[in-house]
Amino acid sequence: MLWTIIVILVVLWLLGLATNIVGGLIHALLVIALIVLVYQLLTGRRTV
């Protein structure tokens, strides 16, 4: 589910770069997606 959201946000970001309509919002969404991705990688890779 989380990967799906990340992929959707990256695709929207690429579309925003291509059309340059709502670039500020799309870039904010990309930053949020990257933060979520890093958080998942840091917390999901821990082994006990």
What's the structural domain count of the chain?
A: 1
46's tokens: 């821990």
Residue 45: its pLDDT value, please?
61
Q: Is residue 47 part of a domain?
A: no
- 14, two tokens: 């690429």
CA neighbor of 12 nearest in space, from 1, 3, 23 = 23
Q: Looking at the domain assignment, is residue 48 inside a domain?
A: no
Asked if residue 37 belongs to a domain, the reply is: yes
User: Is residue 22 one of the residues assigned to a domain?
Assistant: yes
Q: Cβ distance 17 to 23 under 8 Å?
A: yes
pLDDT at 20 (0 to 100): 66
- Nearest CA among 38, 26, 47, 28 for reference residue 2: 38
- Domain range enclosing 14: 2-42
Residue 29 lies in a domain: yes
pLDDT digits (tens, 9 = 90+) for 1-48: 778 888 887 887 777 766 666 656 767 777 888 888 888 888 876 554
